[in-house]
Homo-oligomer: A and B are copies of this chain.
Amino acid sequence: MLQGKALIAQGGGPTAVINQSLVGAVQEARRQGAEGIYGAMHGVSGIINEDFVDLSQETDANLELVAQTPCSALGSTRDKPDVAYCQEIFKVLQAHGIGTFFYIGGNDSSDTLRILSEEAQAADYALRCVHIPKTIDNDLMVNDHTPGYPSAAKFVASAFAGVNLDNRALPGVYVGVVMGRHAGFLTAAAALARRYSDDGPHLIYLPERNFDVSAFTNDVMAAHDKYGRCVIAVSEGIHDSDGTPILAKLSAELEKDAHGNVQLSGTGALADLLTDSIKANTDIKRVRGDTFGYLQRSFLGCVSKVDQREAREVGIRAVQYAASARRDGTVTIHRVGDYAVDYQLSALSDVAAKTKVMDASLIAKSATDVTPAFLDYIRPLVGPMDSATRLRAPTLDKILG
């Protein structure tokens, strides 16, 4: 039985399946006969503004369509509450009789919930807090993987499969910059684009390894010599051995977001810097770069079926834990078969504000590729992709020579 009315909100960057979790939680709360199911608009900021909608008055038909729609249907926020902010939250929750709070989000949102959970105990406010995981970065501790990642990975793999074919048709060097500040999981997904042995990406640069511009130049020239072309996947978070972002070397006037992080997305600067560097340091003529940007987390119609299903389930499980477990926590995903998962309620402090990065076993010794173990890890998450097939027509003998 859920404590008081239930409130649901979404925080941080949207994903392709974040509304599956919302709908899973709403439907399970209904099934359990919750006395009220509210949604807060734009995450915790909607709580202090009392900006609530009555989710009990949704039809299942509309909810199913919302579940299939990418990006936070309740809106999102980058707000991170301090103690005073939490006191405001409790005032509003109390006025509305809310006793259970579900927050769908990543590292920052889970930390918001940890703060809220601790402050509620300190203030003796009875609030059951359950975090529902999502992040395209796949960087939550404890979890085998996180909802949102498989669909974003499918986008990145589909994009690189396409640019590999494009680069094969019109050879040269292509650099694609992928989201992921500290964790390279999303960039690494580019490896799924390969089918034939000479397919790109031929080089993959992850933030788990230091990036050196001269080594990069040599890598690119060697790959270009070998394949007559070169496709490169680069994480936006690449940095030098001092930890300085490669992008930061571009400009001292970088915008900073509310969490004090350098803004890495929403600019094409890193791709341009890297292509300029290749043009300056090699004699390769055709060099192109793209920054995948916001498309990788929002593109309509690119979704992993496994991701949809699991995102729905973590929403449902969150409500079940809130009703049965006598503690706050975060729903975590654990791989228990090939391929099967199970869910647990883990401590918020085990996940909150922490970042999982790629294990060394997933990164090739060259530091410019992933290992077969990574491909085994990611294949069942992304599922089948469209095939990219080559002609097999035999080459004809030259007559004129």
A110 to B169, CA, bound (A): 18
Interface string of A357-401 (1 = CB under 8 A from B): 000000000000000000000000000011111111111101111
A17 at the interface (CB under 8 A from B): no
Interface string of A44-78 (1 = CB under 8 A from B): 00000011111101110010011011111111111
Interface residues of A in 112-168 (CB under 8 A from B): 158-159, 161-163, 165-166, 168
A292 at the interface (CB under 8 A from B): yes
Name the B residues within 8 Å of A70 (CB-CB). Answer: 162, 165-166, 388
Name the B residues within 8 Å of A287 (CB-CB). Answer: 266
**A92-B400, A272-B269 as given contacts; A393 in contact with B39, CB under 8 Å:** yes
A78 to B170, CA, bound (A): 8
A355 to chain B, nearest CB (A): 21
Do the beta carbons of B396 and A53 come within 8 Å of each other?
yes
A389 to B23, CA, bound (A): 13
A96 to B399, CA, bound (A): 7
Specify which of B166, B271, B291 is in contact with A298 (CB 8 Å cutoff): B166
Do the beta carbons of A288 and B300 come within 8 Å of each other?
no
Specify which of B69, B292, B299, B391 is in contact with A74 (CB 8 Å cutoff): B391
Do the beta carbons of B298 and A295 come within 8 Å of each other?
no
Do the beta carbons of A393 and B57 come within 8 Å of each other?
yes
A400 to chain B, nearest CB (A): 5
A14 at the interface (CB under 8 A from B): yes
Interface residues of A in 186-244 (CB under 8 A from B): 193
Name the B residues within 8 Å of A57 (CB-CB). Answer: 392-394
A54 to B395, CA, bound (A): 6
Do the beta carbons of B391 and A163 come within 8 Å of each other?
no
A33 at the interface (CB under 8 A from B): no
A35 to B74, CA, bound (A): 64
A155 to chain B, nearest CB (A): 9
Interface residues on A, range: 35 or more
Do the beta carbons of B169 and A14 come within 8 Å of each other?
yes
Do the beta carbons of A396 and B69 come within 8 Å of each other?
no
Name the B residues within 8 Å of A76 (CB-CB). Answer: 169-170
The chain B residue sitting closest to A13, CB to CB, is B170
**A71-B169, A388-B69, A389-B68 as given contacts; A50 in contact with B399, CB under 8 Å:** yes
Do the beta carbons of B161 and A300 come within 8 Å of each other?
yes
Name the B residues within 8 Å of A389 (CB-CB). Answer: 62, 65-66, 68-69
Do the beta carbons of A66 and B390 come within 8 Å of each other?
yes
A106 at the interface (CB under 8 A from B): no
Name the B residues within 8 Å of A69 (CB-CB). Answer: 165, 387-390
A184 to B58, CA, bound (A): 40
**A288-B294, A290-B293, A299-B162 as given contacts; A169 in contact with B72, CB under 8 Å:** yes
Do the beta carbons of B291 and A268 come within 8 Å of each other?
yes
Name the B residues within 8 Å of A103 (CB-CB). Answer: none
Q: Which of A78, A300, A386 has the most CB of B within 10 A?
A: A300
Q: Which 6 A-B residue pairings sit nearest by Cβ, starting from the closest?
A: A268-B268, A266-B288, A162-B298, A290-B293, A71-B165, A65-B389
